Amino acid sequence: MSREAVIFNVQRFSTEDGPGIRTTCFLKGCPLSCVWCHNPEGISPRPQTMWYDVRCIGCRSCVDVCPVGALTAGDKGIKINRSTCSACGKCADACPAAAIEIIGKSWTPEALTDEVLRDSAFYETSGGGVTISGGEPLAQHEFVMDFISRCKGAGLHVALDTSGYAAPAVFDPAADAADMVLLDLKTMNPAAHLELTGVPLEPVLRSARSLGETRKRVWIRTPVIPGATDSDENITAVARFIADNIPGCDRYDILPFSNICASKYERLGMEFRFKETPLVPMERMEELKADAERAGAPNVVIQGLTTRKPQ
């Protein structure tokens, strides 16, 4: 029987996760704990229950049907006891307003391949394909290898979007199997990397150097997080590393911080320390782009929301 993976989103018509029009498959589970994580629902490897206050009609159907009493209704809406909630889905099934969802569904490689093949016409006309993302997709690497093989067998272009934090025996075969790799390099400071992501930097750099040795097609991406990764020194250091170690890199994306994910943290009962942090001004992103270009990074792209000074 094929192995299954827990996936929290199959996003169609994506234009930011590789070339062309793509379908991005987001796998749950990540060994990193980045303090700015844009997809907090991808951190836990297990399905999770999420309540949407704007949809709730206050009928209490979810409370009444919960078999373990994990839901309670109060003045501020539905509260979820996550220590007892098993994400069984009975509350979501009972809710007439779709105010409760279970984030994370098990897929087999066969079923997911059939799903992404529905968009094959868009891939063919745009030069797109499938992107495997997360979370950290290599946390479910056996599934990923099976899925890549099936996609390639169907003639689909496959991109692997990864943090690079994986053992060589896991990272190298997956990177080799994919057509291209999208790799995050968040900071070149080992102490800062450990503090901000919860994991050491060196395994990530090893993965990056491995990609450079194979000359695999690579896009490198750095999230520009105020007070964390947004210094001129950091962007310059990442760009120099790319220029010196990854000859196959044909694009360097610098991604301005966005707090649009703050509501996800609230719905998951998690703290988000950047919820009041504003968007990065375009003027600042242009300065960082110039830093990266001077340091030798190829094809530097600003990708994401920014603010601009009033005209």
Per-residue pLDDT 10s for the chain (311 aa) are 358 999 999 999 999 999 999 999 999 999 999 999 999 999 999 999 999 999 999 999 999 999 999 999 998 899 999 999 999 999 999 999 999 999 999 999 999 999 999 999 999 999 999 999 999 999 999 999 999 999 999 999 999 999 999 999 999 999 999 999 999 999 999 999 999 999 999 999 999 999 999 989 999 999 999 999 999 999 999 999 999 999 999 999 999 999 889 999 999 999 999 988 999 999 999 999 999 999 999 999 998 877 665 54
Do residues 138 and 25 share a domain? yes
Residue 308 is predicted with a pLDDT of 64
Do residues 155 and 16 share a domain? yes
Identify the residue whose tokens are 């001129």: 232
Do residues 16 and 73 share a domain? no
Give residue 257's domain range. 5-44+105-302
User: Residue 78 belongs to a domain with what CATH number?
Assistant: 3.30.70.20
How far from the centroid of its chain's Cα atoms is residue 102's Cα?
18
Tell me whether residue 276 is in a domain. Answer: yes
Task: Read off the tokens for 208.
Answer: 């990056």
In whole angstroms, give the CA distance from residue 14 to residue 227: 29
Tell me whether residue 310 is in a domain. Answer: no
Do residues 169 and 90 share a domain? no
Tell me whether residue 269 is in a domain. Answer: yes
- Which are the contacts of 290, defined by CB distance < 8 A and separation ≥ 6? none
Helices (runs of H) and strands (runs of E) counted in the chain: 11, 13
Do residues 178 and 196 share a domain? yes
Residue 309 is predicted with a pLDDT of 59
Identify the residue whose tokens are 């495997």: 132
Residues in the chain: 311
Tell me whether residue 91 is in a domain. Answer: yes
Tell me whether residue 64 is in a domain. Answer: yes
Element of type H or E holding 11:
strand 5-14
Which segments of 154-224 does DSSP mark as H helices, in order? 168-177, 190-197, 202-214
Tell me whether residue 311 is in a domain. Answer: no
Do residues 26 and 134 share a domain? yes
Count the domains in the chain.
Answer: 2
Do residues 11 and 137 share a domain? yes
Residue 79 is predicted with a pLDDT of 95
Do residues 222 and 118 share a domain? yes
Do residues 208 and 246 share a domain? yes
Do residues 16 and 87 share a domain? no
Tell me whether residue 25 is in a domain. Answer: yes
Residue 215 is predicted with a pLDDT of 84
Which of 87, 103, 119 is the endpoint of a domain? 103
Do residues 70 and 199 share a domain? no
How far from the centroid of its chain's Cα atoms is residue 95's Cα?
29
Dihedral sign, Cα of residue 27, residue 31, residue 35, residue 36: negative
User: Residue 256 belongs to a domain with what CATH number?
Assistant: 3.20.20.70
> Reduced to 3 states, what is the DSSP secondary structure of residue 72?
strand
Is 154 in contact with 113 (CB distance < 8 Å)? yes
Do residues 78 and 222 share a domain? no
